[in-house]
């Protein structure tokens, strides 16, 4: 049986942009449907930020327990109960998801439809509902927020072995003896260090010459040094050429600086990127054509080539961060409900890599600024020279800031150190307020805090 319904707006996907957008549209008096085929909250709540950072926290506790003697504290043997770690993660995810579902249910004029949508025309949809009934929807505006999922690399033999991705690896009940990680981006590094701290042997295979290949060389090299110190094997400039089953796990064939070799592991984690959830949307029926990677193309106002159809979040490509998705929601509500004219053109894209110590990043890196021909000054400070970091025995990493040599404005920063993400956010606030670096150099910060390191950082420019 197929029911036909008309709405003012339909949002496809209950992710971190889609949920608040649907609530805002309904709150503005527009009858709105929110279609979700899996679970409310999108990647962030269910398979991304929330569960991974919950596991990172458990891994850090294990790490600190093993370091207890460094602080003069005696402990016994440290053991990780992975099923209990997993249940803690599941409980937090369920709580966050329930909060989103509650906000949707409380909003008058908003219908949550459980099912999968596909276009049948520019602004019409067919929905295969979870209850088995079909549904036909028409709306003046349609917003695509279907996100992305982990990509499995086209590696010869990969269909013959069990492959973990960033979702399934968090459901393991038994600790891997030797985890092989394909990919040296932030996902691979976070899981690699996490499982090393849980007790696994870990090898990370990275095709390029450095991890985190978008970072400055000195930042990437410092990250590599920290991971090696933690006991992680790094295979840089190494490509995987094939994989096959082996006794007790997998045999990964790689080609690196020393030629071809084989790595034997108990588990294989693919952390080589993400692919958009667009292939089942019926985009052609709407008059939409994705780019060569499957992402939906939009302009700076998040408009597609079809009037009345918008895309937000990971499905449109670009930086795949929750805060970007949420800002997409704010752009759309400002323009469509408040008469604004916001765009994605000039927004900053800060991010943090939740290895330990954290890497916080904002603005231009040194290499990027020099490539643009800018006149810059670069300030660096080892965390080993920060009093607070030494007091808590967390001296690894360094701070780095790039400033305009003519205006003294901060152009960007990388903070690899304890609470690096929070320190980066302080520098971002200074950039937003156009506070010149001497103001931070000369500021009176409470002692002993990490923030007072800015005094020393901005007094340390290279000649």
Phi, psi at 430, each rounded to 5°: -60, -40
**Three-class SS state of 118:** strand
- Cβ contacts of 83 within 8 Å, gap of 6 or more: 173
DSSP string, 266-310: SEEEE-S-EEES-TTS-HHHHT----TTSPPP--TT-B-SSTTEE
What is the C-alpha separation between 141 and 4, in angstroms, rounded? Answer: 16
Answer whether 274's CB lies under 8 Å from 295's CB: no
Q: Which two tokens stand for residue 62?
A: 């294990």
Q: How far apart are CA 38 and CA 40, in angstroms?
A: 7
Determine which one of 178, 293, 323, 447 is catalytic: 447
Rg of the chain on CA atoms, in Å: 24
CA angle, residues 199, 267, 168, in degrees to nearest 5? 95
Number of residues that make up the chain = 463
- The answer to whether residue 178 is catalytic is no
The neighbour count for residue 273, using CB atoms within 10 Å, is: 15
| Catalytic residue numbers, as ranges | 447
């Amino acid at each position: 049986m197929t029911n036909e319904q008309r709405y003012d707006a339909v949002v496809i996907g209950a992710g971190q942009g889609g949920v608040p957008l649907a609530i805002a549209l309904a709150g503005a008096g527009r009858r709105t449907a929110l279609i979700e085929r899996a679970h409310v909250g999108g990647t962030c709540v269910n398979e991304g930020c929330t569960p991974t950072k919950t596991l990172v926290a458990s891994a850090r506790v294990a790490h600190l327990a093993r370091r207890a003697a460094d602080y003069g504290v005696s402990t016994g043997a440290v053991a990780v109960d992975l099923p209990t770690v997993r249940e803690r993660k599941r409980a937090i995810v369920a709580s966050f998801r329930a909060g989103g579902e509650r906000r949707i249910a409380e909003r008058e004029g908003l219908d949550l439809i459980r099912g999968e949508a596909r276009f049948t025309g520019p602004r019409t949809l067919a929905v295969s509902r979870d209850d088995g009934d079909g549904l036909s929807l028409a709306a003046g505006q349609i917003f695509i927020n279907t996100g992305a999922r982990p990509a499995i690399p086209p590696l010869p033999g990969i269909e013959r072995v069990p492959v973990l991705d960033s979702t399934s690896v968090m459901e393991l009940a038994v600790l891997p003896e030797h985890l092989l990680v394909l990919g040296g981006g932030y996902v691979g590094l976070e899981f690699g260090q996490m499982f090393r701290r849980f007790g696994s042997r870990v090898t990370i295979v990275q095709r390029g010459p450095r991890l985190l290949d978008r970072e400055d060389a000195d930042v990437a090299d410092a990250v590599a040094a920290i991971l090696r110190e933690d006991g992680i094997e790094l295979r840089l400039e190494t490509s995987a050429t094939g994989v096959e089953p082996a006794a007790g796990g997998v045999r990964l064939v790689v080609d690196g600086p020393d030629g071809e070799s084989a790595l034997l592991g108990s588990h294989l984690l693919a952390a080589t990127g993400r692919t958009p959830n667009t292939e089942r949307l019926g985009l052609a029926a709407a008059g939409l054509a994705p780019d060569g990677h499957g992402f939906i193309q939009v302009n700076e106002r998040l408009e597609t080539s079809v009037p009345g159809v918008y895309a937000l979040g990971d499905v449109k490509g670009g930086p795949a961060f929750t805060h970007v998705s949420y800002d997409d929601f704010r752009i759309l509500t400002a323009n469509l409900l408040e008469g604004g004219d916001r765009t994605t053109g000039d927004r900053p894209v800060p991010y943090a890599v939740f290895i330990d110590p954290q890497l916080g990043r904002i603005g231009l890196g040194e290499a990027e600024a020099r490539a643009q021909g800018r006149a810059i000054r670069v300030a660096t400070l080892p965390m080993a020279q920060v009093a607070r970091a030494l007091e808590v025995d967390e001296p690894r990493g360094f701070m780095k800031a790039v400033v305009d040599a003519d205006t003294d404005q901060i152009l960007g920063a990388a903070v690899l150190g304890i609470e690096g993400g929070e320190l980066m956010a302080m520098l971002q606030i200074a950039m937003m307020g156009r506070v010149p670096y001497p103001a931070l150099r000369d500021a009176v910060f409470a002692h002993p805090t990490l923030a007072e390191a800015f005094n020393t950082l901005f007094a340390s420019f290279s000649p």
